Amino acid sequence: MATNQLLPLFLLALVAGSHAGSIAVYWGQNGNEGTLADTCSSGLYAYVILAFLTTFGNGQTPVLNLAGHCDPNAGTCTSLSSDIQSCQSQGVIVLLSLGGASGSYSLSSADDAQNVANYLWDNFLGGSSSSRPLGDAVLDGIDFDIEATNGDFFDDLAKDLAQFSSQGKKVYLTAAPQCPYPDAHLNTALQTGIFDYVWIQFYNNPPCQYSSGSIDNLTGAWSTWISSVTATNFFLGLPASTDAAGSGYIPPDVLTSQVLPAIKGTANYGGIMLWNRYYDEQNNYSATVKDSV
């Protein structure tokens, strides 16, 4: 009798869970944010994005910058290999982010894009190289956080990376455009329609972010994005604390009571993205909102 009474509740939980979103977080730009392994074992995140490969393209030697965590030039970032594998064993998707707000990156041609794709495959994905910065671990994909250049040839880079999925393990493609549509740097790449996850930065962009108690600019921009770009899922990108961005912070109670109810009905809603793990740990943001995402 007790089992029969529990069954409807179980089915209800399944239905509710089918619409639940996930949390993505950027890790790597603050040496005080804890280890990658601890970030994943927190149970808060479905996606962890390593930030950043700050230099690449145009004939430059690529540079990985993980702030205070390790020094790739000294080979100490290979120690992250076991952390990455630990994350993946828990079902967390681990990605490498290209670009960032500061760096030296651009693509000069389609051939240049192919060269960068080959470099990423051999050094971070399923290929092989004698100098893999993160060791033997095979990352799950590549994130495009392109905040400079005019975006030329990043569509080629995306397509070149997608081709590697045919060699076995899927290569996830994700992107972090700014919320004003179209994004000045990523529009060409996003128009390929081959990105899995798009985490839109709804911060440091007053025309399309939450402000002064109003969600109208945000929900309007969200609607524009999901109707203009093809992707598997879209995520609401947010600062994890007031210190994480110049503007756009949404208090947890506002997120759960106003913002999420307005966008979660979207068929391809995926969840939220947070910048970054350090601020999230300080502010306990994802732990506070997780059950509502």
Q: Which residues are catalytic?
A: 147
Q: Which residue stretches of 76-202 are H helix?
A: 80-89, 110-123, 154-163, 187-190
Q: How far apart (Å, rounded) are the C-alpha atoms in residues 248 and 239?
A: 7
- Rounded distance between C-alpha atoms, residue 249 and residue 245, angstroms: 7
In which region does residue 185 sit, left (phi positive, over 0), alpha (psi from -120 to 50) or beta (all else)?
alpha
Distance CA 119, CA 66 (A): 18
What is the rounded CA–CA span in Å between residue 204 and residue 184? 15
Local structure of 268: helix, strand or coil? coil
Q: Which of 194, 140, 128 is nearest to 162 (CA)?
A: 194
Query: From the CA atom positions of the chain, what is the Rg in Å?
Result: 19
